[in-house]
């Protein structure tokens, strides 16, 4: 689907590429670091490491003095909220949704969602993210999915599903059977798009906006089509109290257990208020949690206990949530906050820079069941990579410093030099190679002005 004459979908193919002389943080099981090493990318994969023999047509890129890492994985995002940065400040979760975010989301159409998605995707790529899991939107879902395809990112993405709930605008209150059929049709169209980089995910928003029949339909669709389920839960105490009131005293995990959703590949954003009893209950299933520290801080949600999750064997990913609540999509900031918050909770020796960096790489891949393809730098894996400059004041340190600490506590998007997805250089020397940022700004400005007018919210 081409939404606009200035389509940005042309991603150049690449000849073999040799990244020469970098310090490679493999993030493999032993956290191996290879210094002054070469990395050969061929046919979209990491062909070899160390001192590989390169074919004659290989392009070489000198990355000496740089750090080479697996591309970052953001396991919870709302690309459809990128336009809403700064439009919903100083509110608790439920009023934040009812007074601002839902009316704004309800005003999306395919075109606004397309440019909003591309704007967010551009920020992700420029800050080193190569894989996302997006919770989607209702109106405009098709436009947003097309933006994900055109962005070049690897993604789990789908339509956001809602059919009930207090304060939900009419435009977001979908007919249950119709929305289930619609999401299956979107899955048929988009699953496997972008040469297989896009995988479809079922996105029921959260318990307060999804009826029992909608959850039953999601479970049925998940088991029939093999699509995972991504939702929000146990984010704020207010929300959990409202869930108990609505569901006869049951909390989120008890409700999911009763609905049979713990038997699916269930990916829970936030999980701030998960208890030991919850963790006992989800043990043995394919249940993962996505930590969103900026969002949890800004909305005053609380501090998730990542150590308890790790001890229980629950895979934990990380993400910025949406620009409407975290204001930025730079996953390096989330990595830093994750480590700092666990130190506050458990003491300074509790969560290392390496532990935090794994949330956005090897652990993040496990949270999305992509651990055989991405998340570490190993021969045969897909060449999703980020190259960081160290010739910056905040990245300059003694050679003895653990580079994982250097990245986890000091890196930001400012250090991102190159980004590759499946061997394609989508960011080179800090600039997007395949997206026209000026055009994205121009179209976004036009679409957002119209969207705000349609939303009818005031005052801003
Ligand atoms: Zn969210």
Alpha-carbon distance values, 239 to 97, 187, 206, 244, 422 (Å): 12, 29, 10, 9, 39
How far does the centroid of ligand 1 lie from the alpha carbon of residue 295, in Å?
A: 8
pLDDT, mean of residues 87-107: 92
pLDDT digits (tens, 9 = 90+) for 179-224: 999 999 999 999 999 999 999 999 999 999 999 999 999 999 999 9
- Rounded to the nearest whole angstrom, what is the distance from the C-alpha of residue 107 to the centroid of ligand 1? 18
Question: Ligand 1 centre from 357 Cα, in Å?
Answer: 21
* Centre of ligand 1 from the C-alpha of residue 438, in Å: 28
Per residue in 219-256, pLDDT (tens digit) is 999 999 999 999 999 999 999 999 999 999 999 999 99
400 CA from centroid of ligand 1 (Å): 39
Torsion of CA 52, 56, 61, 66, to 10 degrees: 0
- Interval between CA 354 and ligand 1 midpoint (Å): 25
What pLDDT score was predicted for residue 3? 46
pTM (2 d.p.): 0.96
Residue pLDDT, tens place only, 163-185: 999 999 999 999 999 999 999 99
pLDDT for the residue numbered 457: 86
Is there a cis peptide before residue 459, judged by omega within 30 degrees of 0? yes
Residue 6 pLDDT exceeds 50: no
Ligand 1 centroid, distance to 78 Cα (angstroms):
6
Distance 320 CA to ligand 1 centre (A): 9
Rounded distance from Cα 382 to ligand 1 centre (Å): 27
Q: What is the pLDDT of residues 280-324, one digit of tens each?
A: 999 989 999 999 999 999 999 999 999 999 999 999 999 999 999
Q: What is the mean pLDDT of residues 371-385?
A: 98
Q: For residue 12, what pLDDT band results from cuts at 50, 70 and 90?
A: low
> What does the pLDDT read at residue 222?
98
Radius of gyration from C-alpha coordinates of the chain:
21
pLDDT tens-digit series, residues 39-54: 999 999 999 998 878 8
């Amino acid at each position: 689907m081409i939404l606009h004459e200035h389509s940005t979908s042309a991603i150049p193919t690449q000849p073999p590429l040799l990244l020469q002389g970098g310090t490679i943080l493999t993030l493999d099981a032993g956290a191996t670091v290879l210094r002054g090493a070469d990395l050969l990318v061929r046919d979209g994969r990491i062909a070899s490491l160390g001192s590989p023999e390169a074919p004659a047509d290989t392009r070489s890129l000198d990355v000496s003095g740089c750090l080479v890492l697996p591309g970052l994985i953001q396991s919870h995002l709302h690309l459809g909220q990128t336009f809403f940065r700064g439009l919903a400040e100083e509110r608790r979760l439920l009023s934040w949704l009812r007074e601002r975010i839902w009316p704004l989301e309800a005003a999306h159409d395919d075109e606004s969602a397309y440019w909003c998605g591309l704007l967010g995707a551009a920020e992700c790529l420029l800050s080193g993210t190569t894989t996302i899991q997006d919770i989607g939107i209702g109106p405009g879902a098709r436009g947003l999915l097309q933006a994900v395809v055109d962005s070049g990112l690897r993604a789990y993405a789908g339509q956001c599903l809602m059919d009930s709930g207090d304060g939900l605008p009419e435009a977001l209150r979908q007919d249950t059977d119709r929305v289930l059929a619609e999401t299956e049709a979107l899955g048929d169209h988009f699953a496997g798009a972008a040469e297989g980089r896009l995988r479809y995910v079922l996105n029921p928003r959260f318990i307060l906006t999804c009826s029992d029949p909608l959850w039953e339909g999601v479970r049925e669709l998940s088991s029939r089509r093999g699509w995972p389920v991504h939702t929000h839960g146990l984010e704020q105490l207010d929300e959990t109290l409202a869930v108990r009131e609505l569901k006869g005293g049951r909390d989120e995990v008890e409700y999911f257990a009763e609905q049979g959703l713990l038997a699916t590949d269930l990916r829970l954003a936030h999980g701030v208020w998960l208890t030991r009893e919850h963790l006992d209950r989800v043990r043995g299933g394919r249940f993962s949690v996505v930590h969103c520290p900026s969002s949890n801080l800004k909305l005053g949600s609380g501090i998730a206990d990542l150590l308890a999750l790790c001890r229980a064997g629950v895979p934990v990913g990380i993400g910025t949530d949406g620009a409407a609540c975290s204001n930025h999509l730079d996953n390096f900031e989330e990595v830093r906050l994750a480590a700092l918050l666990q130190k506050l909770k458990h003491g300074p020796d509790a969560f290392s820079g390496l532990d935090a960096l794994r949330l956005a790489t090897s652990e993040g891949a496990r949270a999305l069941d992509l651990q055989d393809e991405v998340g570490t730098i190993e021969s045969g894996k897909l060449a999703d990579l980020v190259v960081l400059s160290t010739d910056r004041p905040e990245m300059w340190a003694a050679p003895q410093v653990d580079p994982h600490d250097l990245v986890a506590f000091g890196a930001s998007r400012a250090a991102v030099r190159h980004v590759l997805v499946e061997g394609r250089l989508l960011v080179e020397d800090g600039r997007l190679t395949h997206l026209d940022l000026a055009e994205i700004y121009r179209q976004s400005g036009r679409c957002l002005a119209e969207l705000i007018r349609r939303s009818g919210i005031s005052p801003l």
